[in-house]
Amino acid sequence: MNFLAHSLRFLDGDPTFAVATGIPDFLTIAEKGVRLRTVDLRPFLDSQETALQQVAAGAHQHLIDDRRFHSSACFLSTSSRLRKLFKPYVPDDGTPRASFLGHLIAELLLDAELASLFPGKMEQYYKVLGSADFTTIEQSVCRLSRKPTQRLAKMLELFCDARVMFDYADDARLFYRVEQVMRRVGFPLTDTKTGDVFAEARLIVREQAAELYAAGTVEVTS
């Protein structure tokens, strides 16, 4: 699940919690080697420090939702279809490039579909994100993780200003954003024709959007 899918049902609640549902993924962008683990979050779920508790609870929700989402039959089937769709356009070099691409595009296009199904929610997400105290969130993450981060707050600020998720609705801009991610993880797209199949990928995710979203939206139970 991507940022909108994780936060959608929480956007009318505590903004720190809503933003924190994306923190595990934000950390993969901001700081190499800094991770939040369920075992480390659990002791803080009942913390009397409100911000710390909300960050822990939001991140915990993310991990639970992702565990369910990524093991669901719907996601596995959708990402497999996308992998096969994109495989002819990526190097056959023995890396999991096509599988990663199928996984990534399934999540980004799900956010695009949710933005279409729930008009105004993408804008609301960015308003909620902009209202959060990024410094406090970073300080909380430093207490929750086994390694500190000094880049999360700045990364959240840049992400908020760039409003990249609005690009997911357009095939050409989506290709640009996907290419950015693929370069960052070491799987650059060398065939520009990859972008030509985004319209077909969008249809695949659109027909499964409701089931995909349902697969990952479970309340905290453990």
20 belongs to a structural domain: yes
39 belongs to a structural domain: yes
88 belongs to a structural domain: yes
Average pLDDT, the chain: 93
The separation between the first and the last C-alpha atoms of the chain, rounded to the nearest angstrom, is 19
176 belongs to a structural domain: yes
- Domain containing 16: what range? 3-216
Angle, alpha carbons 47-53-54 (nearest 5°):
160
Mean local confidence (pLDDT), 172-180: 92
190 belongs to a structural domain: yes
221 belongs to a structural domain: no
222 belongs to a structural domain: no
Q: Confidence class of residue 32 from pLDDT cuts 50, 70 and 90?
A: confident
Report the domain count for the chain: 1
- pTM for the predicted model, two decimal places: 0.93
Alpha-carbon distance of 55 to 78, in angstroms, equals: 31
